[in-house]
Structure 1
Amino acid sequence: MLHPVFGKLFAAQVLALVGTGLLTVALGLLAFDLAGAAAGGVLATAYTIKMVAYVGLSPIAGAIVSNLPRKWVLIVADAARGVVALALPFITDIWQIYLAIFLLQTASAVFTPTFQATIPDVLEDDDDYAKALSLSRLAYDLENLLSPAIAGLLLLVMSYHWLFGGTVIGFLVSSAVIAMTAVPGRGVRKQRPFRERLTRGVRIYLATPRLRGLWSLTLTAAAASAFVIVNTVVVVRNGYSGSESDVALALAVFGGGSMVAAFALPGLLRRLSDRPVMVGGAVMMTALMGLLVIFEPGWIMFLVFWSLIGLAYAAVVTPQGRLLRRSAHHDDQQAVFTAQFALSHICWLITYPIAGATMTAWGMRPALAVLGLVAIAGLLLAFYFWPKGDPDEVTHTHDDLPDDHPHLHGQGHTHRHALIIDDEHHNWPNRR
Structure 2
Amino acid sequence: MLEILRERTFRRLFGAQVVALVGTGLATVALALLAYDLAGAQAGSVLGTALAIKMVVYVTLAPLAGATVPPRLRKAVLIGLDLVRAAAALMLPFVTEIWQVYVLIALLQSASACFTPLFQSLIPEILPEERDYTRALSLSRLAYDLESLLSPAIAAALLTMISFHGLFAGTSAGFIASALLVMATTFPVVHAARAAGSPYARALRGMRIYLHTPRLRGLLALNLCAAAGGAMVFVNTVVIVRGPLQGGEREVAWALAAFGAGSMAVALLLPKLLERIQDRSVMLGAASVMVGALFAATGLWAATQGRLGWALLIPLWCVLGAAYAGLVTPGGRLLRRSAQADDLPFLFAAQFSLSHVCWLLAYPLAGWVGAAIGLGSALVALSCVAVLGLFVAWRAWPCHDPDVVEHSHPELSDDHPHLVDHQVLEGKHMHPYRIDELHGRWPQ
Relative to the length of structure 1, the TM-score reads 0.97
> Which of 166, 169, 186 does residue 165 from structure 1 map onto?
169
Contact (CA 8 Å) 1:217, 1:316: kept in 2 or not?
A: yes
Q: Using a 3 Å threshold, how does the CA distance of structure 1 residues 68 and 51 change in structure 2: closer, same or farther? A: farther
The answer on whether the counterparts of 1:202 and 1:339 sit within 8 Å (CA) in structure 2 is yes
- Partners of 1:107 and 1:15 lie apart in 2 by 16
1:122-141 deviations in Å (ceiling 9; x for gaps): 11121211111111111111
Quote how far apart the aligned CAs of 1:90 are: 1.0
Amino acid at match of 1:40: G
Equivalent of 2:437, from 399, 404, 423?
423
Are 1:320 and 2:310 counterparts? no
Using the alignment, how far apart are the partners of 2:194 and 2:234 within structure 1?
A: 41
Q: What SS is found at the alignment partner of 2:35? A: helix
May I ask how many residue pairs the two structures share in their alignment? 430
Q: Is the 8 A contact 1:19 1:170 kept in 2?
A: yes
Residues 70 and 185 in structure 1, CA contact (< 8 A), matched pair in contact too: no
1:184 match: secondary structure: coil
Within 5 Å, give how 1:32-51 maps onto structure 2: 32-51=36-55
Match of 2:206 among 186, 192, 201: 201
Structure 2 matches for 1:85-104, cutoff 5 A?
85-104=89-108
Aligned equivalents of 1:11, 1:57: Cα separation in 2: 25
Select the residue among 3, 26, 34 that pairs with 1:22: 26
Distance in 2, matches of 1:393 and 1:63, equals: 28
- Pairing 1:370–2:396 present: no
Cα distance between partner residues in 1 of 2:332 and 2:155: 30
Asked if the contact 2:45/2:371 (under 8 Å) is kept, the reply is yes
The question of 1:143 aligning with 2:157 is answered no
Verify: 1:407 aligned to 2:418, yes or no.
yes
Q: Contact 1:70/1:186 (CA < 8 Å) preserved in 2?
A: no
SS at match of 1:333: helix
Per the alignment, residue 175 of structure 1 pairs with: 179
Question: Which of 106, 124, 127 is residue 131 of structure 2 equivalent to?
Answer: 127
**Which range is displaced more, 300-309 or 403-412?**
403-412
What is the RMSD computed on CA atoms of the aligned residues? Answer: 1.2
Q: Take 1:337 and 1:239, find their aligned partners in 2: how far apart are those partners?
A: 41
- Superposed, 1:28-427 pairs within 5 Å as 28-194=32-198, 195-296=200-301, 297-409=308-420, 410-412=422-424, 413-427=427-441
Question: Where do 5+ consecutive residues of structure 2 fail to align?
Answer: 302-307
- One-letter code aligned to 1:126: E
Separation (CA, whole Å) in 1 of partners of 2:234 and 2:186? 35
| 1:69–1:186 contact (8 Å) kept in structure 2 | no
Q: 1:191 to 1:322 in 2, by over 3 A?
A: closer
Letter of the aligned partner of 1:178 in structure 2?
Answer: V
In 2, Cα distance between equivalents of 1:190 and 1:139: 30
Distance 1:67 1:7 in 2: 20
Residue identity opposite 1:110 in structure 2: C
- 8 A Cα contact 2:64 2:203, kept in partner: yes
CA contact (8 A) 1:217 1:282 kept: yes
The CA deviation at 1:67 is: 4.9
Distance in 2 (CA, whole Å) between partners of 1:120 and 1:257 is 27
Q: Alpha-carbon deviations, 1:272-308, whole Å to 9, x = none? A: 1111111110100110000111113421221011011
Q: Quick one: distance in 2 between partners of 1:133 and 1:96?
A: 36
CA distance, structure 1, for counterparts of residue 86 and residue 27 of structure 2: 12
Distance 1:21 1:153 in 2: 14
Return the TM-score normalized by structure 2: 0.95
Q: Deviations over 1:1-26 (max 9, x none)?
A: 31221111111000000000010011
Q: Deviations over 1:156-183 (max 9, x none)?
A: 1111111100011000110000110112
Deviations 1:372-409 (A, max 9, x none): 00000001110111021211111111122222211101
Structure 1: runs of 5+ lacking an equivalent: none
**Deviation readout 1:208-239 (Å, 9 max, x if unpaired):** 00000000000000011011101100011112
The percent of aligned pairs where both chains have the same amino acid is 53
Task: Report if the CA contact (8 A) 1:206-1:212 is conserved.
Answer: yes
**Structure 1: which 4+ aligned runs deviate by more than 3 Å?**
none
Letter in 1 for 2:415: D
- Report the Cα offset of residue 75 of structure 1: 1.4
SS state at 1:416 partner:
strand
State the AA in 2 paired with 1:55: V
Amino acid at match of 2:355: S
Kept in 2: contact 1:223–1:372 (CA 8 A): yes
Which amino acid in 2 is paired with 1:285? M
